[in-house]
Structure 1
């Protein structure tokens, strides 16, 4: 495929996802820390992004890289949906508000009508402790709340760790247990010497291939 054709496909696909998410190329450049002139040159067909930049944009839109670089089928029917931008959190600095700018590592987009009420954010699952329920790498939607029913999955910060862990909450009397769904892992017992802070309830997750 010729370079000009590759550029045209990329421009068309990027514009499609800009429109779908209700953002501009300037918004994406800011969110991904790309120079605006670089993105502008891509959209004018002057230059073509490196593979790592293509992957960053694909992750940003929660799509496969091929959905940016390959021509889309012509028989698709677009369904308009109101999408909202949900922050994905990384390390959560102690004492900071949960949604402080320095805690945000990216964004995911969700259909507004499917979201619970209240403050919502997302975490990226790390490791296999919650498999098979939640696979490694899944984007998990969290509703911020301090109280969790027994048996529900919560995002919990243990012993002031900067990153929250996803575990199923169980109680026996006054003792709180953070239970993995994967039997290869051990439960975390919450004590005065090993305190925990529940920051929210897991409500859904999604995985991209």
Structure 2
């Protein structure tokens, strides 16, 4: 099976991940097979990561970081270290999601927004909602939505940030599926919008919903 063609940004990220993994393995005196066994991956897959031939998914990065005892950001630089942010409770606000294959490129970060629950698990990124397709879920135009970086939903019906393969723009929808059916449903929370039926290979999930808030909006003078 032919390898898919990666974008220039993805290739650069793959190289950085490979270099970081090699440094970590060397410091721990681990071999390629040690990582493969610990992370329950094949040696060929690990070899591809170490030689920058395949882009590791967020789920794989999380698994590898866990078995190596390091932060995800020590492997994948797209995970901003909380200690490097101006404030531990500040979250990157991205203007465009899923450039390429689910990557949150640094160039897409427009600002940083506060996460109001510093004692809880911090989100990886935030988006400003554009449109009203999720208003029945309480998510309205202009709201800030927080996400955990992930390549699939944690459960059936979860709200996710997702992109269709043939579209560069991301969307916020519930991801639902039925056992035995090859199709997934991208479900809006507004009766004025239609559901979209897709196959798993037709979408890229970039993150799962962690909450949202409504920014204070000044009243316009009469």
Q: TM-score under structure 2 normalisation?
A: 0.51
- Pair 108,204 (structure 1): closer, same or farther in 2 beyond 3 Å: same
Cα distance, 1:191–1:131 mapped onto 2, change above 3 Å = same
Contact 2:98 2:104 in 1 (8 A): no
Match of 1:22 in 2: none
**Contact 1:158–1:197 (8 Å) recurs in 2:** yes
Report the alpha carbon displacement of residue 195 of structure 1 after superposing the two structures with TM. 1.3
Q: 8 Å contact 2:102–2:205 — kept in the other structure? A: no
Q: How many equivalent residue pairs? A: 125
153, 167, 171: which one pairs with 2:173? Answer: 167
Distance in 2 of aligned mates of 1:161 and 1:122: 20
Flag the 1:186–1:157 CA change in 2: closer, same or farther, 3 A: same
**Matching of residue 90 in structure 1 with residue 95 in structure 2:** yes
Going from structure 1 to structure 2, the CA distance change for 1:200 and 1:93 (only over 3 Å counts) comes to closer
Structure 1 stretches of 4+ with a deviation exceeding 4 A read none
Does 1:131 find its partner at 2:135? yes
Q: Which structure has the greater CA radius of gyration?
A: 1
Inter-CA distance 162–188: structure 2 relative to 1 (3 Å threshold): same
Contact 1:128–1:182 (8 Å) recurs in 2? yes
Between the aligned partners of 2:113 and 2:165, the Cα distance in structure 1 is 28
- When residues 86 and 141 of structure 1 are mapped into structure 2, their CA distance, relative to the original with a 3 A threshold, is same
Decide whether aligned partners of structure 1 residues 163 and 89 sit closer, same or farther in structure 2, where only a CA change above 3 A counts: farther
Structure 2: gaps of 5 or more residues: 1-86, 218-222
Which residues of structure 1 form unaligned runs of 5+?
A: 1-81
Contact kept, 8 Å, 1:86 with 1:107, in 2: the verdict is yes
**Displacement, 1:123?**
0.8
The 8 Å contact of residues 90 and 163 in structure 1, kept in 2 or not, is answered as no
Residues 181 and 84 (structure 1), Cα distance of their counterparts in 2 relative to 1, 3 Å cut: same
Displacement of 1:161: 2.8
CA distance in 1, matches of 2:159, 2:174: 4
What is the alpha-carbon root mean square deviation over aligned residues? 2.2
Which string of whole-angstrom CA distances, capped at 9 and with x for unpartnered residues, describes residues 164-187 of structure 1?
Answer: 200011112221110001011001
Change (3 A) 1:186 1:135: same
Aligned twin of 2:195 = 187
| 1:203 to 2:210 alignment | yes
Question: Using the alignment, how far apart are the partners of 2:185 and 2:120 within structure 1?
Answer: 30
